Amino acid sequence: MIPEALAGRRIAVTGATGFLGTALVERLLRAVPGCELVLVVRAGRMRTVEQRARREIFKNDCFDRLRSDLGGSAALDELVARRVQVIAGDVGTDGLGLDAAGREALASCDVVVHSAATVSFDSPLDGAVEVNLLGPTRIATTLNELGVAPHLVAVSTCYVAGNRRGAAPEIRVDESPFWVDVDWREEVSAARRVRADAEAESRTPELLARFTGEARRELGAAGVPLLAEKTEQRRSAWVKDQLVDAGRARAASLGWPDAYAMTKALGERALGETRGAVPVSIVRPAIIESALAEPVPGWIRGFRMAEPVIISYARGLLREFPGVPEGVVDVIPVDLVVGAICAVAARGPGNADGSPDVTQVASGSSNPLKYQRLVDLVRSWFGEHPLYDTAGQPITVPDWSFPGRGRVQGQLERSRKLLGRAEQVLQALPLRGDQAELSARVEEKRELADRALTYVTLYGAYTECEATFAVDRLLALDAAMDHSDRQTFVLDPRVIDWGRYVHEVHLPSVVAHARVRTEPGRAGGEERAHRLRRQVLSPERHLAAFDLENTLIASNVVTSYAWLASRRIPSEDRPRLVAGLVAEAPALLRLDRRDRSDFLRHFYRRYEHADAEELAVDSVDMMSDLILTKSFPAAIRRVRQHRALGHRTVLVTGALDFVVEPLRPLFDDIVCARLSAGPDGRYTGQMVEVPPTGESRASLLADYGAAEGLSLDQSVAYADSTSDLPMLEAVGFPVAVNPETRLSALARKRGWLVERWAKAPGGTGPRLPLARRPGPRREHP
């Protein structure tokens, strides 16, 4: 019946790039061969709507079954070209942003399925209002303007019923005795004002100073462009947080769990008032999860509501979660929702006058899954199929308890604050390598606590929900279907065997899509490092750029100065030199962390009046006496490996030219700092040009690559500090060497190769960076 009823129809679909929309498009193309589709897709920043559709819809594994049935990708492409039209449109924009061709395509449709939504439970209030509340109204308004009245099937959610207990019938929201009669137009205006107010407040001097400070604490002396970018990210994140909090507070004040449910409810009310001549049906799913059978068991796109909580539990991160053990977790597989949408579209409007009729797609009233049973099923499955920790040991899942939301939130808040303070202390210390890795691990644990707190905040209301959603109309649709339709468009929740679904369908799919370890043995970090190392040392690389300090040698500009300054002074003056540098160390460290260029300019003033010729001679001796003893043999080997592979090698350092001159045979080129000298051959203490630090390193590499015909995307950079972040981000293959705390955390997050190189064991060298007094030089005859 359904294929025949929809044969010859043109069906428009919004939200086709989403989880539900993709499944709906696949089912219509596979099971309703006589229909044509018009997909309303929002244009991307870098891709056309056609490119987005091809990449995000038809290349998704949802279409593997259809692709196989047709005999391959070429056949699927031909079917799509024949039966699918993609138009640019945006339900968050008045008029849907349609051009003339798009309006003509929409006007030709017999059915419009509106599944586009902002589905995140922590959406900013204004975004949820623009898409969830106004989206359905914009579609109806546009259709009326076009003078057409296709059947509009709008996808909503069962949770428009709000935080209520007991039966939730299939009625319009404004017919419910629990409906709070608010003016949806005023809510739209208020949400837009909240955005404007938050944007204005975020630009006050006090908050901008706060965001700048946070950026500097995270990135250190990374340079003005990166710090400015991070500051703006902080400001935007603050605005979003204000809008999320505003949405959550407004929803709670009206009896909804979050802004998603509230804006969906108000969207239903607005659509009922503005639909004009357009007949409307509303389909309300409960919590949509992985497919029961169609297109294949377990198909899922992205993580839904339950998956983050389940994986966190399996990894031992969540030991308790709020909820009512005897309450119902109203889960419905995505293919049953698709079946219901197809059945409603085939049936046509449910009311003769075209006013909205409601069909709820839920399991709680006819085949309930109790929260306690779900927890038991999850625990037993992970007991037999455990995840593994980084040491390769199985993770024993804890016994789940069911405390109140306030208690769990309080515990997580305390953990988060404690870890945050530990993270701040560690980041303030001059740690490197394995010690810096400790800071990165603390940061990771703090982020896990943040994530767990987010889950409790977002999903706690749903696990504590005690509403039961009636499905009388859904079951009536099923009863009216023939045997063939029941096989192809399953929509009856009573067919679900929860034990089989959770154990054999859902959890295997969730684990397969999660980045978790499912096999014993040591973590794959070493194997991953080998893979990254092979990429770095591929013959295809063009350029290898190296920082010097703590990347090639365990030394710095202060150490070099101490050696050179002590070279020609009396022995009795040496303790005074060392004591002065030690006393200055904290101030120098602060200046270096604040701005590397300012630090170098300040410190290099000490070379004023120094004899250039003497320093050049002394630097050669310093190479063997100090630099080589503090060098990392693995680093020197890496430079030689790159040269052997034909890569151009360049040293980029803020060290002075006479200091690094003895290293020139190791590199193709050296970019370094230089001091100006007067006519008397003595240095002035002033620099010739901007020292190669921070963002200037990225610019230097870009200019160098352009001049030599080298691609930075195919190049490698080695460095140890966030002050080198611009150079690391400029290349395709960044490598963090003995990273300090901030860079260690960033490298861990971004999946960069991390090398921990050390000095040669047993090497001799001065305990203090002081030079031996020069002996008499023999004259050559």
- In the prediction, which pLDDT does 781 show? 35
Give mean pLDDT, residues 385-414: 71
Is pLDDT above 70 for 432? no
User: Residue 659: exposed, middle, or buried by beta-carbon count in 10 A (0-12, 13-18, 19+)?
Assistant: buried
Tell me 242's DSSP state: H
Q: What is the mean pLDDT of the chain?
A: 86
Is pLDDT above 60 for 404? no
Distance CA 464, CA 456 (A): 11
Query: Looking at 123-132, 299-308, 365-374, which range is the least confident one?
Result: 299-308
Cβ pair 432, 550 in contact under 8 A: yes
Give mean pLDDT, residues 173-202: 87
Closest CA to 285 of 358, 346, 343, 350: 358
- The reply to whether the predicted model has a pTM over 0.75 is yes
Greater confidence (629 vs 333) lies with 333
In 10 A of CB 582, how many CB atoms? 9
Is pLDDT above 70 for 752? yes
Is pLDDT above 70 for 765? no
Is pLDDT above 60 for 780? no
* 71 Ramachandran zone, left/alpha/beta (phi>0; psi -120 to 50): left
- In the prediction, which pLDDT does 568 show? 79
For the chain, the first-to-last Cα distance in angstroms comes to 109
- In the prediction, which pLDDT does 644 show? 94
Closest CA to 741 of 421, 438, 419: 438
Give mean pLDDT, residues 27-46: 91
Distance CA 391, CA 476 (A): 54
HSE-up (13 A, CA, CB side) for residue 378 = 25
- In the prediction, which pLDDT does 263 show? 94
Query: Looking at 229-243, 485-499, 684-698, which range is the least confident one?
Result: 684-698
Q: Is 127 helix (H, G, I), strand (E, B) or coil?
A: helix
Radius of gyration of the chain (CA): 33
Cβ pair 474, 366 in contact under 8 A: no
If pLDDT is split at 50, 70 and 90, which confidence band does 321 have? low
Query: Looking at 132-136, 172-176, 257-261, which range is the least confident one?
Result: 172-176
Pairing between β-strand 753-755 and β-strand 716-719 as defined by DSSP bridges: unpaired
Compute CA 41 distance to the chain's CA centroid, rounded to the nearest angstrom.
23
Query: Looking at 232-236, 416-420, 610-614, 755-759, which range is the least confident one?
Result: 416-420
State residue 133 phi and psi, 5-degree precision.
-85, -50
C-alpha angle 750/752/756, rounded to 5°?
135
C-alpha angle 63/69/74, rounded to 5°?
70
What string of DSSP letters covers 49-76?
HHHHHIIIIITSGGGHHHHHHHTSHHHH
State residue 568 phi and psi, 5-degree precision.
-125, 25
Distance CA 29, CA 35 (A): 8
Question: In the sheet that 357-361 helps form, which strands lie side by side, from edge to edge?
Answer: 84-88, 36-41, 10-14, 111-114, 151-155, 280-285, 357-361
Residues 59-107 pLDDT 10s: 999 999 999 999 999 999 999 999 999 999 999 999 999 999 999 999 9
- In the prediction, which pLDDT does 766 show? 53
Is pLDDT above 90 for 349? yes
Closest CA to 543 of 370, 778, 305, 710: 710
Q: Is 687 helix (H, G, I), strand (E, B) or coil?
A: strand
Query: Looking at 92-106, 180-194, 298-312, 598-612, which range is the least confident one?
Result: 298-312
Give mean pLDDT, residues 648-653: 94
- In the prediction, which pLDDT does 226 show? 84
Size of the chain, expressed as the number of residues it contains: 781
Q: Is 633 helix (H, G, I), strand (E, B) or coil?
A: helix
Greater confidence (407 vs 142) lies with 142
% pLDDT > 90, the chain:
50
User: Residue 633: exposed, middle, or buried by beta-carbon count in 10 A (0-12, 13-18, 19+)?
Assistant: middle
Greater confidence (55 vs 322) lies with 55
If pLDDT is split at 50, 70 and 90, which confidence band does 172 have? confident
Closest CA to 91 of 20, 162, 39: 39
Give mean pLDDT, residues 483-506: 93
Q: Is 684 helix (H, G, I), strand (E, B) or coil?
A: strand
Distance CA 164, CA 468 (A): 9
Sign of CA dihedral 112, 115, 116, 118: positive
Is pLDDT above 70 for 309? yes
- In the prediction, which pLDDT does 777 show? 46
